[in-house]
Chain A
Amino acid sequence: MSKIIGIDLGTSNSAAAVLIGGKPTMIPSAEGTSIVAGGKAFPSYVAFTKDGQRLVGEPARRQSATNPDGTITGIKRKMGADYKVNVFGKEYTPQEISSFILRKIKEDAEAYLGDSVDKAVITVPAYFNDNQRQATKDAGAIAGLEVARIINEPTAAALAYGLDKEEEATMMVFDLGGGTLDVTIMEIGEGVFEVKSTSGDTQLGGRDMDELLLNYVVTKFKQDSGVDLRQDKMAMQRLGEAVEIAKIELSSVLQTNINLPYITADQNGPKHMDITITRAKLEELIRDVLNRCENPMNQAIQDAKLRKDQIDKIVMVGGPTRMPAVQKFVKNFMGKEVERGVDPMECVAIGAAIQGGVLGGEVKDILLLDVTPLSLGIETLGGVDTKLIERNTTIPSKKSQIFTTAADNQTAVEIHVLQGERPMAKDNTSLGRFSLVGIPPAPRGIPQIEVAFDIDANGILNVSAKDLATGKEQAITITAPHKLSQNEIEKKVKEAEQHAYEDSKRKEDIETKNQAETLVYTAEKALKEAGDIATSEQNDKIQKAIEETKEALESSEVEKIKEKSEALQNAIYELSTAMYQKAAQQQEEAQQQQSPQQESKSNSEDEVDVEYEVVNDDKK
């Protein structure tokens, strides 16, 4: 069974999305998109060229000036009407024209997913009547798509914002597109959306704002330089692109520059444009457009027999609503904040994809995956928190690692389970502890204790420790500690970042200490094993180095510890080198005594190990 994609079949632009891994993802348009459409949508253009080609999207738009008779735009306005398009002698119904757009989307989706796509959810305006909805369904069928459902555009937008999870709410969907404004008042209750009223303005949109900004710049330039840019085609093209970019930038910065050197020339020589535009200026320029948005909002609220303050949620749809000016205007008018978190240009397609996911059985609660908000680990030698599961790991998840003992004949290990980002155990949250006993006595570093963390889909953590030699195992279950709010999580992560430098230094110091201790242990062992091989000189030297290292460890002065353990290490190397030489010597002598064909065996007993405390066998 293939995926059900979501399609926003718009008057000016169309887009599609699909759930991948439960997450809504926009399906890219094959021929690319313009900056205008935000990179994901493509213009709803269909064209038939004189040489018999059929073009859809950007290519159709690019040739429209050369082929006005063969280029069709805004066909959505004619859906459900008894109307035929006549192109070079052939007749098409609006459904057929729309089907060409839908077919392109189908092909794009198949290329993107690498799988066949046969079903879709398509959105329509809330005010579409039965004929118009049926026509949309037919268009899908002609394109080879089974239309699993037709849903209203404002409903799709609300879905994208997750508003279907509200028990009961009243919402206003403010859809300001390139050329039209649609305001819808809806109620959600028990999983059902109900449209209460719609209103709008078919002659109002982002394009008006672009016009105003462009006019301003051209007029200002004329005032400053005396030159009318509108007479210079190339200048207008360069300016058009620059204005587009400036407008988008002003949504995130407070001012921007339109810097176009050598933009044009007159009898006095070349002219340059360098105009600064502030966000405030832009807001001033579009004030009239914004003011015209008031009536439709008032009308819709009135028709729904409600008051402004009875609207719980405000949803923004359409590219122009990304502008802070528009958001501010609506917020001030309604007296509350607008919903955030979804790209207003994508939310309709995304909402349709979510509905497609529900109908396709993808969005069942069990498939909604969670993540661990903070890292989980255990306390190891020196009070260090050794992390086993990193924060933001998707659960369910399982991770295990092999640990070992810190002292000779250690027969029990304590597993102290921690949650947090700091390197030191004491700075993190303790989730629980337990002990594993009955470990057969052995030199330190020999036993293998496998510690496993297993988080299930509900966030319940099972920690187990198993002695691989005996098979003995202990475990505890930790139910999710009090749910941390997003703020608390961010605070902890920030704390870790702030203390990162000092924490890492402290961790380093502890590791130096641990290594020194191990070195003392192995040095003493080596001396014992070396026995006679060590000269009394070497013996004394090493004993001294061991004493000094032990002293340094007592003092806890890190630099001293480092210094003394290095000296000890060097002393040991001398001894082990000597031991190897001696061993090699002995072998030669042995060989000479025996038959020449005998092979020499390497004597591994005299190897000196300098081990680390934790054996890092990463097992997934």
Chain B
Amino acid sequence: MRPKQNEKDESQTIRSSDMKQDTEKGLEDDSKTGEISEQERQLKEALTLAEERLDQLLRCRAELDNTLKRVAREKENISRYASEKLVVKLLPVLDSFDQAAKYDPGMDKIRQQLMDVLKGEGLVPLDVIGKRFDPNYHEALMMVESDKYDEGIVTEEVLRGYSLNSKIIRFSKVLVSKKQ
């Protein structure tokens, strides 16, 4: 059970009804001072509106400029990582070949063939055993006892990690040595 919301929470008013109220209020005070003031008021209103519009226009331009810059950056990224999606999908296939290669030299050859193609695209398997654990490259599955290594060292790679053109596309899943 949860506590219920009983009162109308005014902070939940979404649309600009607040802003409209303020403007209307301002108009009421001037109606008493005569026609020339009426013209002044209209002029003031028109000038304010003009300023507002100019501001909106400048904002639009600025947003457009920033968007163009961002699009240019993204375009560059797209060409750099164009094959990323496909390569990521192929990693489980590589995993299968890695295992198959243990049993069959033919499979090893195929594994190599696939790996050569992917290396050509910029794929690099991460080299992790014996290195200090780093969350920027590794994902720790659990900590284990180790005679060989000090604390905080990667002792075993459970699932291989890869980078593509310097971007990690799959983090290595590893076991990390415990404190003795």
Contacts and interface: CB of A to CB of B under 8 A. Distances in A.
A65 B143 contact: yes
A538 to B, nearest CB: 57
B8 A261 contact: no
A149 B99 contact: no
Q: Top 4 A-B pairs ranked by shortest CB distance?
A: A262-B99, A63-B135, A195-B5, A62-B139
B14 A237 contact: no
A241 B135 contact: no
B14 A358 contact: yes
A260 B100 CA distance: 11
A152 B2 contact: no
B130 interface: no
Contacts of A55: 135
Contacts of B16: 358, 364
Nearest to B170: A241
Interface of B: 1-5, 8-17, 56, 63-64, 66-67, 69-70, 92, 95-96, 99-100, 102-103, 133, 135-136, 138-143, 152, 158-159, 168, 171, 173, 175-176
Contact of B141 (A65, A152, A164, A364): A65
Given A191-B15, A192-B8, A270-B103, 14 more contacts: A21-B64, A62-B139, A63-B140, A65-B141, A114-B66, A159-B14, A194-B8, A198-B5, A199-B1, A237-B158, A261-B96, A262-B102, A270-B100, A270-B102
B176 A65 contact: yes
Contacts, number: 118
Most buried by A among B2, B8, B70, B95: B2
Nearest to A241: B92
Interface residues of A, number: 55
A456 to B, nearest CB: 15
A60 interface: yes
Nearest to B19: A361
B11 A62 contact: no
A21 B67 contact: yes
Contacts of A60: 135
A21 B63 contact: yes
Interface of A: 20-21, 32, 55, 59-66, 112-115, 126-127, 129, 149-152, 155, 159, 164, 190-200, 233-234, 237-238, 241-242, 260-263, 265, 269-270, 303, 355, 358, 364, 367
Given A21-B67, A270-B99, A192 B14 contact: yes
A355 B100 contact: no
30 contacts: A20-B67, A60-B135, A61-B139, A63-B140, A65-B140, A65-B141, A65-B143, A66-B176, A114-B70, A115-B66, A129-B3, A151-B12, A155-B14, A164-B15, A191-B15, A192-B10, A192-B12, A194-B8, A195-B4, A233-B141, A233-B175, A234-B158, A237-B173, A238-B95, A241-B92, A241-B159, A261-B96, A262-B103, A270-B99, A270-B100
Question: Chain B contact residues: over half helix, strand or loop, or mixed?
Answer: mixed
Contact of A200 (B2, B15, B143): B2
Contacts of B136: 59
Contact of B11 (A149, A198, A262): A149
A367 B15 contact: no
B12 A66 contact: no
A222 B88 CA distance: 29
Contacts of B66: 113-115
B2 A237 contact: no
B11 A150 contact: yes
A65 B142 contact: yes
B14 A20 contact: no
